[in-house]
């Protein structure tokens, strides 16, 4: 008989829960930016709601991606070991998991403020819609970036209840950052995607062109990080974090070559995870010390 622990581990694996580390630090940045620049007080319950929203939205999006792509995944040697094609999680169970997380996400936004609640279906439309985009556009990576870019502005709105430019600059940074590293990750499936008429930047431009495109996106991301620092007149701690972030973006491009994709996972997960966490740490130090 399957234990609750085993069931939980299956679903955590299904949604690659550890990858939450990419956008969550930027959500935390958005939350504390709002507290600092609107003079709001720290509210532990509200902060918990923001983190919960991140987890619920991302879990719904990832599980939906696995559900929608299950037939494609089972034909790809790299992805055939995923939970649904491998028979570890049933498709119906995955869909129920998606619906449950969508309900939890919308319900949580209700307890934050009316604006977040009214915008919650739009956010879900973006993060769930990404899974369908590679069937008709090579810009699917940008849609994924757009979904994760909602983290800083969404967290900011949870506190302020209004839009401001500063969190949007961070959202733009996330948009181009995530889009860029997703292109690198997609290099692994270029041949398979082309054979199945699936769309991606690697399929459109080839490996060299895709890496160049990714580099341009990461330069734009770095530009928004720099502009945000100038705009908000951050001090030295922010700029230390910004330099680390930019250097790690550069570093991941030294790891992956058109003829050598052996370090894609190092570039994708480790480097980007470290970049987001360290940058968030230095932003928070700048804000409070």
What is the separation of C-alpha 283 from the centre of its chain, rounded to a whole number of angstroms? 19
Owner of token pair 């507290």: 35
* CATH code, domain carrying 140: 1.10.357.140
Contact 24, 151 (CB under 8 A): yes
- What is the tally of structural domains in the chain? 1
Contact 253, 211 (CB under 8 A): yes
Please state, in angstroms and rounded to a whole number, the distance separating the CA atoms of residues 115 and 134: 31
Token pair listed for 230? 């100038």
Contact 170, 26 (CB under 8 A): yes
**Which pLDDT does position 5 carry in this prediction?**
64
Strand partners, 260: 257
Alpha carbon distances (Å) from 155 to 64, 263, 280: 23, 33, 14
**Which pLDDT does position 1 carry in this prediction?**
45
With b meaning 16 or more CB within 10 Å and e meaning fewer, what string describes 60-69? bbbbbbbbbb
Please state, in angstroms and rounded to a whole number, the distance separating the CA atoms of residues 10 and 27: 26
Please state, in angstroms and rounded to a whole number, the distance separating the CA atoms of residues 47 and 43: 6
Question: Could you tell me which of 121, 170, 156, 173 has the C-alpha nearest to residue 50?
Answer: 156
SS3 category, 125:
helix
Length of the chain: 289
SS3 category, 85:
coil
Question: Could you list the residue range(s) of the whole structural domain that residue 162 is in?
Answer: 4-288
Please state, in angstroms and rounded to a whole number, the distance separating the CA atoms of residues 54 and 99: 15
**Which pLDDT does position 2 carry in this prediction?**
55
**Alpha helices (runs of H) in the chain, residue ranges in sequence order:** 4-14, 24-38, 44-68, 70-73, 91-110, 114-133, 140-160, 165-186, 190-195, 201-231, 236-255, 264-265, 272-288
**Which pLDDT does position 21 carry in this prediction?**
76
pLDDT mean for each 10 residues of the chain (289 residues): 67 70 91 92 95 94 94 93 90 94 97 96 96 96 96 96 95 97 94 96 96 97 98 97 96 90 81 93 94
Q: Is the entire prediction scored with pTM above 0.75?
A: yes
Contact 70, 85 (CB under 8 A): yes
Q: Burial-class residue 175 by CB neighbours within 10 Å (0-12, 13-18, 19+).
A: buried
Please state, in angstroms and rounded to a whole number, the distance separating the CA atoms of residues 57 and 279: 23
């Amino acid at each position: 008989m399957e234990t609750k622990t085993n069931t939980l581990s299956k679903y955590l694996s299904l949604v690659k829960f550890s990858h939450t580390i990419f956008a969550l630090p930027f959500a935390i940045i958005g939350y504390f930016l709002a507290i600092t620049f609107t003079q709001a007080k720290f509210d532990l319950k509200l902060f918990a709601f923001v983190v919960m929203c991140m987890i619920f939205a991302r879990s719904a999006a990832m599980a939906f991606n696995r559900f929608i792509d299950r037939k494609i995944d089972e034909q790809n040697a790299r992805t055939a070991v995923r939970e649904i094609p491998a028979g570890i999680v049933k498709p119906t169970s995955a869909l129920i998991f998606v619906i449950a997380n969508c309900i939890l996400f919308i319900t949580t936004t209700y307890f934050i403020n009316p604006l977040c609640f009214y915008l919650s279906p739009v956010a879900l439309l973006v993060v769930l819609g990404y899974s369908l985009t590679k069937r008709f556009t090579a810009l699917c990576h940008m849609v994924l970036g757009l979904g994760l870019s909602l983290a800083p502005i969404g967290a900011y709105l949870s506190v302020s209840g209004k839009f401001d430019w500063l969190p949007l600059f961070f959202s733009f940074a996330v948009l181009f950052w995530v889009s860029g590293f997703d292109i690198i990750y997609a290099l692994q499936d270029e041949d398979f995607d082309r054979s199945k008429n699936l769309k991606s930047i690697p399929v459109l431009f080839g490996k060299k062109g895709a890496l160049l495109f990714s580099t341009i996106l990461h330069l734009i991301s770095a530009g928004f990080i720099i502009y945000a620092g100038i705009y908000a007149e951050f001090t030295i701690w922010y700029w230390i974090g910004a330099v680390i972030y930019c250097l790690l973006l550069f570093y991941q491009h030294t790891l992956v070559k058109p003829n050598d994709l052996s370090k894609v996972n190092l570039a994708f997960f480790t480097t980007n995870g470290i970049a987001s966490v360290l940058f968030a740490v230095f932003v928070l130090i700048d804000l409070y010390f």
